[in-house]
Amino acid sequence: MIRRHAIKIALAAFGVIAAILIADRLFPPDLGKLRDHSTLVLDAQGGLLQAFPAAGDVMRVPTGLEQVDPLYPAMLKAAEDRRFGLHPGFDPFAALRATGQALRYGRVVSGASTLSMQVARLLEPKPRTLGAKLTEILRAVQVQAHLGRDGILAAYMTLAPFGGALEGVQAASWAWFGKPPTHLSPAEAALLAALPQSPERLRPDRFPAAARAARDRILDRAAAAGVINTATAQAAKADPVPVDQRPLPMHAPHLARRLAAAAPVGAILRTHVDGKLQRGLERLGLTQKQRFADDADLAVVVLANQDRKLLAHLGSGDWLARQVDLSQARRSPGSTLKPFIYAVAFDDLSLHPGSLISDMPQRFGAWRPRNFDHDFHGTVTAREALQRSLNIPAVQVLEKIGPARFAAVVRLCGIDLSFPSTEDPGLPLALGGVGIRLTDLAALYAGLADDGRILPPATLQGEPPPSPRVLVGSAAARAVLDVLEGSPSPNGIASGSGVARPRRIAFKTGTSFGFRDAWTVGVSADYTVAVWVGRADGAPRPGAMGRETAAPIMFKVFDLLPPDHGLRPPPQSPGHALFQAVPPPALAHLRQDHSLPGRPGEPLRILFPPDGAVVETLKDGVSLLAAGGTPPFQWVVDGDPLPAGASFWPPQGEGFSRIVVVDSHGRRAETSIRVQMPDN
């Protein structure tokens, strides 16, 4: 008999469990609202840079237990669900107590709604009827089985309403206290526990007396439950309640908005931005912008040289005044591309830092460039010409390496150079006759600190790093940085002074035609800082030069950065002609012929186009340049020889081609490329 009853009970229990599992499978809880949260952009430490509204324009910020002060969930359970850890989602003792009180007093005295039931109601809101209450109880048990107790707390802290468009304790803490909920006072934790009970009726900014009374009741319950002692509760009641709802954090707003626009709604985007540095940069940017009297603005990009992490970003000095990201604007770079022109010439072994260059009046076709100071300085070294940013020597060096080839090499590194649609790269490129973005310019300079390897800025954590593109070799990159460390500093600023210890900074300034754009980019061992100053509408700012306008800001940004831990590699390379104290005879003067010298016995090689490159043809065709060997050279493309002395090859269409060069002794070098026709 006992065995038969046991079997019946077991079968009945099995049937109940099976029915529950089948019902759960047929009618699963809808947890989609937990995933339908705000898009979040976070800094490298996990702090909030900016949150963007979820569906319905609510600010629903997902929150986990590890993100809140432990005092808050303790007060929450004391006020809303004292047996939270004991029941399966529905508390029958609380239900019996509430029913008995209602029958005795003829009105609702206390509720029986558990936190799990509140979560079920937040997930699937329904009219307050008896049938809806029974459904809510079943859903509460079901949801708690799915999420677990910690999951229930996290769901409540994400979905609970706190007034207006605020949902979730993290959004509420920022809005009412101006800080994350990781550290809360007893008064703050009690107010956050009270507000969801009636979020509109208890809004502190509208009904401060009601909010204070509700908070104080939570403090009394917490003291009665032993969460805090009575003295702490009484002291907390003396704290004022907030009377203003503050905006949620808005740091790196231009960057955050761009990232959020490219991500699915509800994405959590963790960046490499250093939160403390970003906040300091924003304060600095606002201060500097307020000093401009002509509606000028600024943009700043800070990169880590080692891995190109974007550590801080300023799209404008004041987001409320200008929401256009000026770091993405294509503007004339002035003289800031000169270091890369010299770097390519150094890399070709067609120039040495000690090579002599004539800084005298010269014509380049119909164009006669002048120096910024309208003077001529006679014969100078390449080092001096770059440090003093002399225009005529830079144009000569660009003519030597070829503007089309220089532009192509830079573009092959992923840098966007913008020319008028009807023009090919020309010699004015050396003086700023091109458009470039501040972010691209920062990437170029950071590449010099990485021995000539160019990478785009790394913005988001977890993204696979791209393969670096080689602009120049390590010797040439180090040579340029060595030269730029001797650049003259702005008045009143000592180059190399840092907050903790001397910091060696190689930097270059630039001023575009008509004083429309002022630039400075600086490179230390660990960091690159790029600064642009100008008017967003491109209007001239007479007298506003990069050296006096942007450079002081760059040095102030460096003072916000930690000390450098890396060391700048020395430019010396044993046996390398580029770093002999005195340039070799072949490089004593800048030679203006179009054959590049090589060291004795240097093999013939093709400098451009590089092997495996995708090359966009220009108006005159694809530039051809070789070094080493013994001129004259004969070029052969796909088996067809080009005319003697050819320096361009005009392809007839897109596709793969093999390019061969042969010198006067029959030595040869070859490369394979893919030709791409320009977009119309």
Please provide the DSSP assignment of 385-399 as one string. HHHTT-HHHHHHHHH
Q: What's the number of CA atoms in the CB half-sphere (13 Å) around residue 78?
A: 23
Percent helix, percent strand, percent coil in the chain, to nearest 5: 40, 15, 45
Q: Which CATH architecture has domain 596-676?
A: Sandwich (2.60)
Residues present in the chain in total: 680
Residue 298: helix, strand or coil by DSSP?
strand
pLDDT above 70: residue 593:
no
pLDDT tens for 520-572 read: 999 999 999 999 999 999 999 998 999 999 999 999 999 999 999 887 777 66
Phi-psi domain of 180 (left: phi exceeds 0; alpha: psi -120 through 50; beta: other) = beta
Q: Is the pTM above the cut of 0.85?
A: no
Average pLDDT of the residues of the chain: 86
pLDDT above 60: residue 289:
yes
CATH top-level class for 31-237? Answer: mainly alpha
Helix or strand (DSSP H, E) at 637: strand 634-637
Q: Which residue has better confidence, 671 or 340?
A: 340
pLDDT above 80: residue 450:
yes
Distance of CA 658 to CAs 81, 592, 637, Å? 77, 29, 6
Burial 306-335 (b: 16+ CB within 10 A, else e): eebbbbbbbbbbebeebeebbbebebbbbb
pLDDT above 50: residue 340:
yes
Distance from C-alpha of 41 to C-alpha of 460, rounded to nearest angstrom: 10
Q: Which residue has better confidence, 96 or 253?
A: 253
State residue 77's pLDDT score. Answer: 92
pLDDT tens for 316-337 read: 999 999 999 999 999 999 999 9
173 in catalytic set: no
State residue 575's pLDDT score. Answer: 44
Backbone phi, then psi, for 533, in 5-degree steps? -130, 135
Mode of pairing for the β-strands spanning 648-649 and 622-623: antiparallel
Backbone phi, then psi, for 27, in 5-degree steps? -130, 65
- Please pick, among 80, 188, 282, 485, the residue that the annotation labels catalytic: 80
Please, what is the end-to-end C-alpha distance for the chain in angstroms?
93
Backbone phi, then psi, for 340, in 5-degree steps? -80, -30
Average pLDDT over residues 249-267: 95
pLDDT above 90: residue 112:
no
Weakest mean pLDDT among 145-154, 489-498, 504-513, 597-606: 489-498
Distance from C-alpha of 204 to C-alpha of 53, rounded to nearest angstrom: 22
**CATH 3.90.1150.10 for domain 297-560:** no
Distance from C-alpha of 114 to C-alpha of 88, rounded to nearest angstrom: 10
pLDDT above 90: residue 584:
no
State residue 525's pLDDT score. Answer: 95
Weakest mean pLDDT among 128-132, 416-420, 656-660: 128-132
pLDDT tens for 137-185 read: 888 888 888 889 999 999 999 999 999 899 999 999 999 999 999 999 9
Burial 187-219 (b: 16+ CB within 10 A, else e): bbbbbbbbbbbebeebbbbebeebbbebbbebb
pLDDT tens for 604-629 read: 888 888 888 888 777 778 888 888 88
Average pLDDT over residues 181-196: 96
460-468, Cβ contacts within 8 angstroms, sequence gap of 24 or more: 460/259, 460/269, 460/270, 460/271, 460/272, 461/44, 461/270, 461/271, 461/272, 462/270, 465/307
pLDDT above 90: residue 585:
no
pLDDT tier at 601 (50, 70, 90 boundaries)?
Answer: low
pLDDT above 80: residue 375:
yes
Q: Which residue has better confidence, 451 or 95?
A: 451
Weakest mean pLDDT among 90-99, 130-139, 418-427, 458-467: 90-99
Distance from C-alpha of 622 to C-alpha of 650, rounded to nearest angstrom: 6
Phi-psi domain of 319 (left: phi exceeds 0; alpha: psi -120 through 50; beta: other) = alpha
pLDDT tier at 3 (50, 70, 90 boundaries)?
Answer: low
Question: Which residues, in sequence order, are CB contacts of 241 under 8 Å at separation 6+?
Answer: 187, 191, 204, 208, 211, 212, 215
Contact 308, 528 (CB under 8 A): no
β-pair partners for 509: 520
Residues of the chain above pLDDT 70, percent: 87
Helix or strand (DSSP H, E) at 151: helix 130-159
Average pLDDT over residues 106-111: 47
Q: Where are the alpha helices (DSSP H) in 337-381?
A: 338-348
State residue 108's pLDDT score. Answer: 45
Q: What's the number of CA atoms in the CB half-sphere (13 Å) around residue 524?
A: 25
Residues of the chain above pLDDT 90, percent: 56
State residue 29's pLDDT score. Answer: 73
Mode of pairing for the β-strands spanning 622-623 and 378-381: unpaired
Question: Is the bond preceding 570 in cis, omega lying within 30 degrees of 0?
Answer: no
Q: Which residue has better confidence, 386 or 586?
A: 386
Structure tokens at 124: 């699937």
pLDDT above 70: residue 588:
yes
Distance from C-alpha of 585 to C-alpha of 458, rounded to nearest angstrom: 43
Q: Which residue has better confidence, 364 or 50?
A: 50
Residue 431: helix, strand or coil by DSSP?
helix
Structure tokens at 573: 């390379």
- Please pick, among 38, 116, 173, 335, the residue that the annotation labels catalytic: 335
CA 73 to chain centre: 34
pLDDT tier at 366 (50, 70, 90 boundaries)?
Answer: confident
**Any idea which residue has 């144009």 for tokens?**
395
State residue 497's pLDDT score. Answer: 45
Weakest mean pLDDT among 11-20, 125-134, 239-248, 282-291: 11-20
Average pLDDT over residues 409-432: 88
Which of 67, 30, 27 shows the shortest CA–CA distance to 47?
A: 67
Contact 189, 73 (CB under 8 A): no
State residue 361's pLDDT score. Answer: 83
Structure tokens at 468: 């670096």
654 in catalytic set: no
